[in-house]
Chain A
Amino acid sequence: MALKTFRRGVHPPASKFTKNVPLEDFPVPDKVYISLSQHIGAPAKPIVNVGDYVFEGQKVGEAGGFVSAPVFSSVSGTVKRIVKLPTAIGQMVDHIEIENDFKYEKSYLPKLENPTKEEILARVKDAGIVGMGGATFPTHVKLSPKDPVDTLIINGAECEPYITCDYRLFVEHAHDVVEGTKLLMKALGVEKGYIAIENNKPEAIKIMQEAANGGVEIVPLKTKYPQGAEKQIIYAVTKRVVPAGGLPAQVGCVVSNTHTAYSVAKAVYEGEPLYRRAMTVSGDGVEKAGNYWVRGGIPFSFIYDTLRGEVPECMTNKVISGGPMMGFAQADLRPVTAKGSSSLLFLSHKLFSEVEPTQCINCGRCINHCPMKLLPRDFERAVVKKDFERAEKLGVMNCIECGSCAFVCPAKRPLVQAIRLAKKEIRSKGRK
């Protein structure tokens, strides 16, 4: 039987060098900086004062609205001050500086056994759980869809190169991922739960198939980028097509991330709020590339200094938070780890592209590879002419910014970059 997949897409090199490195605890610095904006939506509001003593897992910021999530201290210690720091996506946001007393005194939420649907929903909200694939959309919002849903898909595609943290979760914590999936299924009231894994991770598929129970099914998918994009994975698993501009719930689906499922299980059964996560640190700029349990609020500079080893600093020319296809290049190492930090890459010139764009040769590769069946070539032409209306008419707002077009372009045109510009212009025009 042909493996399930979506149409079009690209095949970037997998580069999963850290695949076989087991997860280990990452050391914690003297001071951590808990970001108040670790999710999409309103930033959290600080609820501690300078000088307060906080425990590990204690809530330090409460949700600033419905589409928001609380944040938690990742260490026990004293609140020093609130500072503005850039986040990994470049916004200046308030961070709570906490001096680590290295006692790790925990203050968790009460454990739940056999929770009801409402209890799970409340716990997901209270534990500050967000989509941990990178988009960081608050999970409790996702669990309250407007349309009736019948399917939950756990996205374990991990289609971005380098990243292996979800793979390690499958291999090392299969039970928790399955339990988390079952909890999410219960919260949604659905019977079917699929865990979708790309077939370049046969070990993970095997382990998960052994662990799966209670309506959870493992779906092997063809290895292709962007297999983990929401609309693409829904199509691959269920053959349902999310309407353009619509939400997954409109076709009865909710997609959640592997790590989110794991964190839900931890939050419900152990009362652990979301303040640490598995993260892949990779690239040729660090000696000890691997998968780590990192607490929130650890500056990237600390991670770099800890793992760099003997590799000279000139070997790091680009730092990417997230994967190389959709991640964010960092200007400096001030940002800190947060709920969405799935990976941090330190790359030398060898490992990323620096090419001058040349003239478009009209080969149509961008059009033939676009998983959304859009026209990146025409978008870019419209943007170059500053004709954003035309770009909008051609459907630029449906772009998922996966970068497949810019990846395949032989002329190395900045296609996604142009699309982002168009989207921004159209959005700002809409607000006026």
Chain B
Amino acid sequence: MAKYIVSSSPHITSNTTTQKIMLDVIIALIPATIAAFLIYGLYPIFIMILSVGCAVTAEWLFNLITKRPQSVKDLSAIVTGMILALNLPPVVPFYVPMVGSFFAIIIVKMLFGGIGRNFANPALTARIFLVLCWAGVMTKFVYPIDLSNGMNLFSYFENVVNINLPVEITSATPLAGVKEAIEKMAKGEIVNPAAGLNALDMFLGRIGGSAGEVSTLAILIGALYLLIKRVIDWKIPVLYIGSVVVFTAIFFANSPYVGEYVWTYLLGGGLMFGAFFMATDYATSPKAPLAVCIYGVGLGLLTVIFRKFGSMNEGVSFAILLMNVVTPLLEKLVPCTFGAKSKWETNGKKIAEWFKKVFSKKQKSEEKEAQNG
């Protein structure tokens, strides 16, 4: 008699796999990678190769040593490596991405149980780690290469081991200008934070900044791909970016340049990249609708607070890290089962009853007092 396979239903599954999702993210990161190449030449690509190579090696070695099933082929290590490289300044010494990748994969991801179990976004935590280790390198950003000025695609390779970038090639980021304006505002001077900035240059990415974060256009192309493929949901990025706009408007309401603050904050730093590629990280973002709202708005609020009141120009990575840590707590806000009474409803009724009780007691005692009196 023929032998048939017996298993529990469902007998068919969608063809989405972890690997395909990760491949989609890799595809979505390619526009930002191309933008980094066009703006800064081959150096960021070299950094990305190092970063991805180390991330994959780290995961492979960890699984080998701890005798865990090999998980490299789910491609998530490549994603982590790419995101880390795109998060770094365009020119950093070669060992910086290597250390960052090892830290991201071993410490943040694998030690907590591998894919899906990490408490914070690995690439982002590694970036913060690197900022703390090499604050000088991690906060210096070079100018976009200018081919008419005798630079070529191999420019910046002379700084491959150089921990102190020559001053003449370092550029100020738009957010540094904004920070200056804020500091001057505190002293009572009113300065345009967008002075010398061109919105089109910022949109295309011809500014100083992290390799993959500068070109808003490239990020939006990648993000659109992820949204169409339904790899990420629109809610977190939209809530995040929207609340940054709202909170910037609120926090800078007393400045005549509030509009300039809003668009420099939108286009100037790591907001777009963080909102679409890091805040949406599966393992570290909540799933229930209410939790997602709190998460998105919290990100926006923290980002603006860090940027305005913090000592650093940038606040996206710290905001995301903080909200990542809050996520397990937010996950307790479970959605209300279809057909079940929502907690708001039952608790609201309870509160109403309690008020009634207290009120009637008061009334009774008053009546009694009136009778006694």
Contacts and interface: CB of A to CB of B under 8 A. Distances in A.
B1 A332 contact: yes
Given A231-B339, A395-B337, A355 B13 contact: yes
A394 B5 contact: no
B116 interface: yes
A329 to B, nearest CB: 5
Contacts of A328: 9
A282 B169 CA distance: 70
B254 interface: no
B62 to A, nearest CB: 14
A107 to B, nearest CB: 36
A359 B115 contact: yes
Given A243-B340, A359-B116, A374-B337, A331 B6 contact: yes
Contacts of B311: none
Contacts, number: 154
Contacts of A331: 4, 6
A347 B17 contact: no
A265 B251 CA distance: 71
Interface string A287-326: 0000000000000000000000000010011111010111
Interface in A320-346: 320, 322, 324-333
A368 B287 contact: yes
Interface in A252-280: none
Contacts of B341: 243
Nearest to A241: B339
A328 B233 CA distance: 34
B2 A316 contact: yes
A322 B12 CA distance: 13
Nearest to B12: A324
A416 B8 contact: yes
Contact of B336 (A318, A373, A406): A373
Contacts of A363: 21, 116, 282
Contact of A416 (B9, B16, B233): B9
A352 B71 contact: no
B15 to A, nearest CB: 9
Interface residues on A, range: 35 or more
Interface on chain A toward B: helix, strand, loop, or mixed SS? loop
Nearest to A421: B8
Contacts of A41: none
B340 A330 contact: no
A306 B142 CA distance: 76
A428 interface: no
A271 to B, nearest CB: 37
Interface in B265-296: 282-283, 287-288
Nearest to A375: B334
Interface string A345-375: 0010001111100111111110110011111
Given A244-B340, A374-B337, A330 B9 contact: no
Given A317-B4, A408-B16, A398 B9 contact: no
B115 A353 contact: no
A407 interface: yes
A412 interface: yes
A186 interface: no
B20 interface: yes
B10 A326 contact: yes
Contacts of A326: 9-10
B13 A406 contact: yes
Contact of A324 (B9, B233, B334): B9
Give the one of A322, A329, A331, A361 with max B CB within 10 A.
A361
Contacts of B337: 244, 372-374, 395, 398
Contact of A361 (B13, B14, B116, B334): B116
A367 B21 contact: no
A240 to B, nearest CB: 10
Contacts of A372: 337-339
B114 interface: yes
Nearest to B288: A367
Contact of B12 (A243, A353, A359): A353
25 contacts: A235-B338, A246-B339, A316-B2, A316-B4, A317-B4, A318-B11, A324-B9, A325-B9, A326-B9, A330-B6, A332-B4, A333-B2, A352-B5, A360-B116, A363-B282, A372-B337, A374-B337, A395-B337, A398-B337, A398-B339, A407-B10, A411-B17, A412-B17, A416-B9, A417-B8
Given A329-B9, A358-B71, A410-B14, 15 more contacts: A13-B12, A235-B338, A324-B10, A329-B4, A331-B4, A333-B1, A353-B11, A373-B337, A373-B338, A374-B337, A375-B335, A398-B340, A407-B14, A411-B17, A416-B8
Interface of B: 1-2, 4-14, 16-18, 20-21, 71, 74, 76, 113-117, 233, 282-283, 287-288, 334-341
8 smallest CB-CB distances across A and B, nearest first, come from A403-B10, A364-B287, A244-B340, A361-B116, A244-B339, A362-B116, A353-B13, A363-B282
